[in-house]
Structure 1
Amino acid sequence: MNRTSDFREKEVINIKDGRRLGFVGDVEINLQSGRIEAIVIPSGGRLLGFIGKDNECVIPWEKIKKIGEDIILVEMDDRFIRKHFE
């Protein structure tokens, strides 16, 4: 993977329950270290990314377990999933 834009084509799936969380909308990068700190998934109701950050789910880099060609597998707590995706 060479560019952060490559993440936008990947679907995120929680390995704890198999739930499809959506597609990566953005990444958070630490500009000092140049490292990705989190991936951001827009959840419900966002219109082309213009409706506030309340409808975003930020998944810390350490929760990512595997990055494949088409998907990203994460291991997320069920309470977190309910809060952001229901």
Structure 2
Amino acid sequence: MGTKKIETSYPPRGMRLEQAALYVGMGRSSFLRLVEERAMPAPTKVKGMTIWDRQDLDDAFEELKRGGQPIKPRNTIDELLGITDGEEG
């Protein structure tokens, strides 16, 4: 019995090189250059396979959009309480 390819409407959590590069909208060589420069995440090795985590790619892409500035995580509880930058509102 052959394997059946499953189509999904969302990107997979783990991606091979070509998928990862396409996911962030660039070619393979540009993507690998950014990985080497540490602007894109390093892959994870899973039983001999090289796989990029979609969430790591999202985080790295957001950082690139901001010119290398780290993303400040949102804290919904602080927002609801009106606390900003560690100070109560």
**Pairwise same-fold verdict (TM > 0.5):** no
- Rg larger in 1 or in 2? 2
Question: Which TM class, normalised by the smaller chain length?
Answer: under 0.3
By percentage of residues, which structure has more helix?
2
Q: Of Structure 1 and Structure 2, which has the larger fraction of its residues in strand?
A: 1
Question: How high is the TM-score relative to the length of structure 1?
Answer: 0.27
Please, what TM-score do these two structures have when normalized by structure 2? 0.26
